[in-house]
Structure 1
Amino acid sequence: MLKVLVACGCGMGSSQLLKMNCSKVLDSLGIEHEVEHTSVGEAKSMAHNYDLVIVAENFVSSFDADCGATIVGLKNIMSKKELKDKIEALGLNS
């Protein structure tokens, strides 16, 4: 099972919408998953517990390269197409 953490600046509205979109995209790709949402500040200390962390592009540099998770940055966090393309590029749907 793929453990995914999605985060936005405050961990409230945008991350909740991103969580729903992420779950829909992963379902469409047939990937068994668990998605949680939080703020970027909390996500930095939690990333090691997840396989994948999804944030807006401007937050990617906030994460340590050796945090243990793959960090994905999105230009448009509401774009299911961009999210699907980036997940497919990682080869997670194989």
Structure 2
Amino acid sequence: MLKVMVACGCGMGTSQIMKTRAQQVLKELGIQATIHHTSLDEAQSIANDFDLIIISEAFVKNFKVREKTKVVGLKNLLSKTELKEKIQALGISE
């Protein structure tokens, strides 16, 4: 099972919506996942505990992660289409 983290500035509203979008996209792709939502600050400190991190494109450069962890940066945090395209481009599977 894929361990996914979504993060926004405060880890409240936007990350909760991102979590819902990620659940929908991963289900469409047939990928089982557990999804955690949090703030960017917490996300940076626990990033290596996850297989996939979904954040704003503006913050990708701030994440130093192990090779196994993939980081998806989104221009539109609420776009299912963009998220699906980027997950497929990475070849992510269970």
TM > 0.5: yes
The one-character-per-residue Cα deviations of 1:49-84 (angstroms, maximum 9, x if unpaired) are 000000000111111154752111000000000000
The one-letter amino acid of 2:70's match is: T
Give yes or no for the alignment of 1:69 onto 2:75: no
Give me the TM-score of the superposition, normalised by structure 2. 0.94
User: What is the identity percentage for the equivalent residue pairs of Structure 1 and Structure 2?
Assistant: 52
Give the 4+ runs in structure 1 shifted more than 6 A.
Answer: none
Does the 8 Å CA contact 1:3/1:35 hold for their aligned counterparts?
Answer: yes
Structure 2 gaps of 5+ residues are: none
Cα distance between partner residues in 1 of 2:32 and 2:51: 12
Does the 8 Å CA contact 1:10/1:40 hold for their aligned counterparts?
Answer: yes
Give yes or no for the alignment of 1:8 onto 2:12: no
RMSD between aligned residues: 1.5
Give me the TM-score of the superposition, normalised by structure 1. 0.94
Structure 1 gaps of 5+ residues are: none
Aligned residues: 94
